Structure 1
Amino acid sequence: MHQNSIAQNIAKETMSELHEFITVGMSEKTIEEKALELMTEKGSNSWWYHGIGALVLLGKRSIESMSGHDCYSSDENCVSENDVITIDIAPTVDGYWGDYARTIFMENGGVAPEDAPSNPLFRQGLDAELYLHAKLKEIATPEMTYEELFLKLNDEIIGLGFENLDIHGNLGHSIEMDQKDRVYIERGTTRSFKEVGKPFTLEPHIRQKGGKLGFKRENIYYFDEAGVLQVL
């Protein structure tokens, strides 16, 4: 767990610094390259997700869901004065994963403070993400199955007037050493969190039903020895 926390802290620090870096007119690719540079400087020495360290999707592409080697950040899609920028980063330190995503909000030509946009549409998306992560903390237990959590949170997404955009429909996965071993928070996964025994992510990729903007937020969670859910 300690090794994963090192990688996750690299992710958190990188995301905070990206808030200071991004400006109007920057491409997804430029932001991706800066994220990789920052993570490498901080000690990441590989990228666990198919060799991809960062995925940046902004504006009209923020609703796109990509998987595996199909993931790419565009060098043509650029930040506008009022925009959403979803960033998913996967630093890896000696094989141990970090996994972290946030939505950065551009308002009137400047980056809004972290998690503090004023645009009502942006706020609704962020609030939905915050609600889902809070709901996880409220309902999750070690005995709960991955499927049970999926069904409950997917119902919450629908109840909020949003829809799940993930290409495979899942809401997260276990943290492993080999990406092929991941257990997904999805329908049909009947193993409990206790059985799997690994930290896991919650990473809803959502939009308001029929909306044009996507929102992401990802943390790594784990159950401590007392069975209490903690954020890594």
Structure 2
Amino acid sequence: MGKEPLVLLSHREIDKMRQAGRFASELLSHLEPLVRPGISTLEINDEAERWTQAHGAKSAPLGYHGFPKSICTSVNHVVCHGIPNAKQILKEGDIINIDVTPIVDGFYGDTSRTYFVGQPSPLAKKLVEVTEESLRRGIAEVKPDARVGDIGAAIQEYAEAEGFSVVQDFTGHGVHRVFHTEPFIPHYGKRGTGKKLRAGMVFTIEPMINEGTWEVEVLDDNWTAVTKDRKLSAQFEHTIAVTEDGVEILTL
């Protein structure tokens, strides 16, 4: 994670982030039809890399602290940072989070969605829907003078009321010309605590919501984070900007 100080972006820089965010969203939409039984996560990765390069952008994850692929593919009990590979073949009923971060003109667009592979189980469907709504509720808290803790509290209150748990080991983060920087955004917490939000802040909100325990462990590859009880996990992520009067989602 970066140690760079908190940066407030200018209108011109936020416009650049808007372009990167739109590109990231278009990349996910391009990959969505590939999500079906019988395809490997490596095939999805390779198409993401091909499309990104063809449009003159770069994949931020590739080589980041040694990460070997261009996107993260997190299937079923994988919480985040799943590494695409040829042996992992999607099957009917799986859920998969695809996390992309293209670099466009020096700015990072960071977004992820969880997809169903064929027909999900009722439990998987509920988990994914609650996770997406958790992200919406977190974003709805963002405005100048709100606190970072307000975002996490809104997510935690809702997800736990629905019978799920919130991963605490990974957070949202500032992003602009740097991949991970201040402010860090936990997806749990207390209202009225944490850093005050100011116009010009740009960061991700990316709740990871688990079926069972919130606890995770990282596998021997030093990247893949899985639920400790191997139950399902889902995630959605947007990059947002704090505006003078509220919030703008940059990765729509």
TM-score exceeds 0.5: yes
Matches within 5 A, 1:15-26: 15-26=28-39
Q: Check 1:192–1:94 CA distance in 2 against 1; reply closer, same or farther (3 A cut).
A: same
CA distance in 1, matches of 2:70, 2:19: 16
Cα drift, residue 48 of structure 1: 6.0
Match of 1:209 in 2: 212
SS in 1 for 2:17: helix
Please tell me whether residue 194 in structure 1 is matched to residue 201 in structure 2: no
The aligned residue for residue 136 of structure 1 is 138
Contact 2:41 2:86 in 1 (8 A): yes
Structure 2 residue matching 1:64: 3-state secondary structure: strand
Output the CA distance in 1 between the equivalents of 2:18 and 2:141.
Answer: 24
Aligned 8 A contact 1:176 1:198 in 2: no
Greater RCO, CA 8 A, separation 6+: 2
Match of 2:96 in 1: 85
Kept in 1: contact 2:130–2:162 (CA 8 A):
yes
Aligned equivalents of 1:12 and 1:141: distance in 2? 23
TM-score, length of structure 2 as denominator length: 0.74
Which sections of structure 1, spanning at least 5 residues, go unmatched? 109-116
Change (3 A) 1:72 1:137: closer
Identity score, percent: 22
The residue that corresponds to 1:179 in the other structure is: 179
Aligned residue runs from structure 1 range 56-135, under 5 A: 56-59=73-76, 62-66=77-81, 72-107=83-118, 119-135=121-137
Once the two structures are TM-superposed, the CA of residue 185 in structure 1 deviates from its matched residue by 0.8
Structure 1 contact 146–191 (Cα < 8 Å) conserved: yes
SS in 2 for 1:14: helix
Q: In structure 2, do the counterparts of structure 1 residues 9 and 202 end up closer, same or farther at CA, with 3 Å as the change threshold? A: same
Task: State the Cα distance separating 1:148 from its structure 2 match.
Answer: 3.5
The separation in 1 between residues aligned to 2:211 and 2:142, in whole angstroms, is: 25
CA RMSD of aligned residues (A): 2.6
Contact in 2 for aligned 1:144/1:193 (Cα 8 Å): yes
The alignment covers a number of residue pairs equal to 213
Q: Summarize the Cα distance change of 1:46–1:120 in structure 2 as closer, same or farther, 3 Å threshold.
A: closer
Distance 1:206 1:193 in 2: 24
Deviation above 6 Å: which 4+ runs of structure 1? none
Cα distance between partner residues in 2 of 1:104 and 1:29? 16
Distance 1:73 1:46 in 2: 14
Note the residue ranges of structure 2 that are not aligned, 5 or more in a row.
Answer: 1-13, 214-229
Moved more, 139-148 or 1-10: 139-148
Amino acid in structure 2 at the alignment position of 1:179: F
Determine if contact 1:145/1:193 at 8 Å carries over to the other structure. Answer: yes
Are residues 1:229 and 2:247 paired?
Answer: yes
CA distance in 2, matches of 1:29, 1:130: 25
Q: Is 1:39 equivalent to 2:58 in the alignment?
A: no
In the TM superposition, residue 145 of structure 1 has moved relative to its aligned partner by 2.1
SS of match in other structure, 2:174: coil
Distance 1:141 1:224 in 2: 7
